[in-house]
Structure 1
Amino acid sequence: MSGFATATGAPRSDRARTTLTVTGLNHALHDGYTDVIYVLLPVWQTEFALSYGLLALLRGLYAGAMAGLQIPVGRVAERIDGKIILIVGTTLSALGYVFAGWSGGIIGLGLALALSGAGSSTQHPIASAAVSRAYGKAARAPLGIYNFTGDLGKAAIPATTSILLVIMTWRHTLLLLALAGLLVAICIALWMPAVGKGPARKSKASASHATAGGGGFPWLLAIGILDTAVRMGFLTFLPFLLRDKGASLPTNGFALALVFIGGAAGKFTCGWLGERVGTLRTVLITEGGTAALILAVLVLPLAPAIVLLPLLGVMLNGTSSVLYGTVPELTPPHQTERAFALFYTGTIGSGATAPVLYGVLGDALGPSLATIATAITALLICPLAVVLARHLTDDPAL
């Protein structure tokens, strides 16, 4: 029996690493597809003479299709192997950019972006569940790495697109982006192990798992929604706060880059940290640190405020990796895709609505008080984390 464990241990480890590598590549592609739209909006404004309202609608069609279809995708994954869904979704996203490149007007462009967003709706719930199943109880740190790969795509694909737009038309650029997506779909088909599908009936193990979770998932979802609101709300006001301190436009861009670099590092490291010190301690560190650093950036002069931004980025984004890693701990195995779909829908929705709500507060009270409100929101997460920890029976912090 021990020989069998040894013989099968290495292939299982290789299988898990392959799953993480392929899903990470896919995550980078889809997050890059999502953010490259910001680079293309000025080009489309010139090409089609669009108003800012129509430009916002184009972005909203992609984001709305991606967010709105994640829960249905999670349900479909209980009947169809997740690998097949990832292949189909990635192919649809790529074809959406093909059709966008061929579009002759705003209606065709909008439909193409909606198709691409629909394809991207498969990525978060299915890939997260695949990594979770591949690593089992040791999935917390790998999920942090998976989360980090999305930031690599957000940095690489828009930057590459900006360069390509200098040497070729935007239509040819989109065709190259689509080709990259089709290649990733082929990689999934060739190398990614099967994900499996949720069984129709709960096993005894999954029933025990659900009992251990004890209703903790709603608390986790609430923390994720508030954490995203803090991040998006603060980033909305940061350029204006720095401008009031005397920052120029290039300085503002540099400052935002520091936050994003820190955020990528936070996603990479805090998943590992959560695995070792527990969800509760990690969330208390990141949210308490977020609140303290937001207030410090608010009151400090420009230079020291900018110095703090990478560390603030770590705290702002670090919680998300810990939360993603906790989703499978609170979910029966046969409902992992559905849980990730619900979690991502909530956080993406929060990212869309929070800037609006904080913006209204900023109009009423001013940017400084609205920024303080984001710090208060971060502190409100701490008692929720204490409640959540009661449902995590194996949290090292307990």
Structure 2
Amino acid sequence: MNELNIAATPRASDLPDAGARRRSLIAACSAHAVHDGLTDVIYVLLPIWQSQFSISYAMVGLLRGSYSGMMAGFQLLASRLARRWGRERMLIGGTALAGLAYLIAGQAGGLSVLLVALLLGGLGASTQHPLASSLVTDAHEHGGVKEALAQYNFAGDIGKTLIPGLVGLLLVVVSWETSATLIGLLGLAAAAMLWWLIPARSDATSAKTKKARTVSGAGSPGGLLALQFTGTLDSAVRMGFLTFLPFLLKSKGAGTAGIGVALSLLFVGGAFGKLLCGYLGARIGMMKTVWLTESATALLILAAVWLPLSGLMLMLPLLGLALNGTSSVLYGVVPELAGPDRRDHAFALFYTGTIGGGALAPVVFGYLGDVAGIPVATMTLPASLLRR
């Protein structure tokens, strides 16, 4: 037993120093902020694309789902390729590809080019969640991993708040094509920053640390499956609502700038929801926290349908808090349920399910929106949560 304990303890020389941990966390948080901002700015552009290309709500859902679907479908492959080519190269390359995709979208003269650009953007985005999450986990393996993951998740919501909000205001003075080009340049700049930030030996250090451990257990596959099911349903409702929210706001009289501000209010609430629910989950447990956040989400979505524009705008930060709070609790449990040498794979598997659910939901509920209208489709979302 003593031999096992000695083998499971890595030498001090194998541990990343404080500077490397800090740079890894900053790099992962920066990647999360930029990628989530690039992903969610699509919600601001969807009403413009619908008007310009004269497309149905089902096609709107397909555009949104194409980005998320590619992001979900290639995460497992990204985690495998990272073992061969290196986590650093894959994360930087994926960020550059996401930026390039928006440069292509900015030149799109038709729906087919736009769809190809969104598919490429989703492919690039597939590297971020599994690789940046495991970069944070490995760097803080021996202390503060949950706190570091909370900061990483918070950074993603900051990106969701700033980038869509700024683009919504920018669209008042420039075309959407110019806005997409500027977003693409932001993605390329972020890739260059990651190349400078990520510690050069992060992959080697991670490999040494994992090799030094003795695997004490293979994690909890059953627990991870249950966690993934909960996360998938939560993500489907969240992405479905976010797809419909701009159209709901538009029907209540909001303009392009108002939609951008509304999304910023929602994401500000979501950012603080991730922090608050992380602490709440530690105090009262994961199951009680998830029940509270899901119930609040269902009731607030129903209220969003019936409230006037002013009331909806005031309520959005609270809705964001409940809408995003669940995910913060679920993310922090993944490292506990995964084996120590399978964290890249576990994060990729978890994010594949959750983002896959988010990719499918806009298509399904978009079709329902065409048939029954946006209010009915929106009210179907909380029904999905309450039936669980």
Would the alpha carbon gap of residues 77 and 293 (structure 1) be closer, same or farther in structure 2, given more than 3 Å must change? same
Match of 1:12 among 13, 17, 21: 17
Instruction: Please report how far the alpha carbon of residue 214 of structure 1 lies from its aligned counterpart in structure 2 after TM superposition.
Output: 5.7
Residues 206 and 333, structure 1, Cα contact 8 Å, conserved in 2: no
| SS in structure 2 of the partner of residue 196 of structure 1 | helix
Task: Give, as a single letter, the amino acid of the residue that structure 2 aligns with 1:110.
Answer: L
| SS in structure 2 of the partner of residue 216 of structure 1 | helix
Instruction: Please report how far the alpha carbon of residue 23 of structure 1 lies from its aligned counterpart in structure 2 after TM superposition.
Output: 1.5
Match of 1:36 among 27, 32, 41: 41
**What are the superposed Cα offsets for residues 237-267 of structure 1, whole Å, 9 maximum, x if unpaired?**
8899999xxx944599687765443222111
| SS in structure 2 of the partner of residue 332 of structure 1 | coil
| SS in structure 2 of the partner of residue 32 of structure 1 | helix
Match of 1:373 among 378, 383, 388: 383
Instruction: Please report how far the alpha carbon of residue 192 of structure 1 lies from its aligned counterpart in structure 2 after TM superposition.
Output: 1.5
Gapped regions of structure 2 (runs ≥ 5) = 1-9
Aligned-pair identity (%): 46
Task: Give, as a single letter, the amino acid of the residue that structure 2 aligns with 1:373.
Answer: A
Residues 141 and 271, structure 1, Cα contact 8 Å, conserved in 2: no
Partner of 2:7: none
Instruction: Please report how far the alpha carbon of residue 221 of structure 1 lies from its aligned counterpart in structure 2 after TM superposition.
Output: 0.7
The answer on 1:77 being equivalent to 2:85 is: no
Would the alpha carbon gap of residues 8 and 265 (structure 1) be closer, same or farther in structure 2, given more than 3 Å must change? farther
Instruction: Please report how far the alpha carbon of residue 188 of structure 1 lies from its aligned counterpart in structure 2 after TM superposition.
Output: 0.8
Task: Give, as a single letter, the amino acid of the residue that structure 2 aligns with 1:127.
Answer: A
Match of 1:330 among 332, 337, 340: 337
Superposition RMSD in Å: 4.3
Match of 1:315 among 274, 299, 322: 322
Task: Give, as a single letter, the amino acid of the residue that structure 1 aligns with 2:351.
Answer: Y
Task: Give, as a single letter, the amino acid of the residue that structure 2 aligns with 1:126.
Answer: L
Would the alpha carbon gap of residues 290 and 64 (structure 1) be closer, same or farther in structure 2, given more than 3 Å must change? closer
Write the mapping of 1:239-388 to structure 2, written as runs, cut at 5 A: 248-250=252-254, 259-275=266-282, 278-287=285-294, 290=297, 310-354=317-361, 370=380, 373-377=383-387, 380=388
**What are the superposed Cα offsets for residues 161-213 of structure 1, whole Å, 9 maximum, x if unpaired?**
2344444444443332222212111111111124427869x8684631425x3
Following the alignment from structure 1 to structure 2, what is the Cα–Cα distance between the partners of residues 357 and 327?
A: 28
More relative contact order, 1 or 2 (CA 8 Å, 6+ apart): 2
| SS in structure 2 of the partner of residue 208 of structure 1 | coil
Partner of 1:113: 118
Task: Give, as a single letter, the amino acid of the residue that structure 1 aligns with 2:162.
Answer: A
Following the alignment from structure 1 to structure 2, what is the Cα–Cα distance between the partners of residues 184 and 323?
A: 27
**What are the superposed Cα offsets for residues 336-362 of structure 1, whole Å, 9 maximum, x if unpaired?**
122111111211122233466678599
Task: Give, as a single letter, the amino acid of the residue that structure 2 aligns with 1:14.
Answer: G
Partner of 1:62: 67
Instruction: Please report how far the alpha carbon of residue 101 of structure 1 lies from its aligned counterpart in structure 2 after TM superposition.
Output: 3.0
Match of 1:124 among 129, 143, 148: 129
Would the alpha carbon gap of residues 231 and 51 (structure 1) be closer, same or farther in structure 2, given more than 3 Å must change? closer
Deviates more, 1:168-177 or 1:338-347: 168-177
Would the alpha carbon gap of residues 14 and 273 (structure 1) be closer, same or farther in structure 2, given more than 3 Å must change? farther
Residues 33 and 157, structure 1, Cα contact 8 Å, conserved in 2: yes
Partner of 1:86: 91
Instruction: Please report how far the alpha carbon of residue 51 of structure 1 lies from its aligned counterpart in structure 2 after TM superposition.
Output: 2.8
Following the alignment from structure 2 to structure 1, what is the Cα–Cα distance between the partners of residues 231 and 377?
A: 24
Partner of 1:142: 148
| SS in structure 1 of the partner of residue 354 of structure 2 | helix
Partner of 1:192: 198
Following the alignment from structure 1 to structure 2, what is the Cα–Cα distance between the partners of residues 57 and 284?
A: 30
| SS in structure 1 of the partner of residue 113 of structure 2 | helix
Would the alpha carbon gap of residues 250 and 172 (structure 1) be closer, same or farther in structure 2, given more than 3 Å must change? closer
Q: Provide the TM-score with structure 1 as the length reference.
A: 0.74
Partner of 1:161: 167
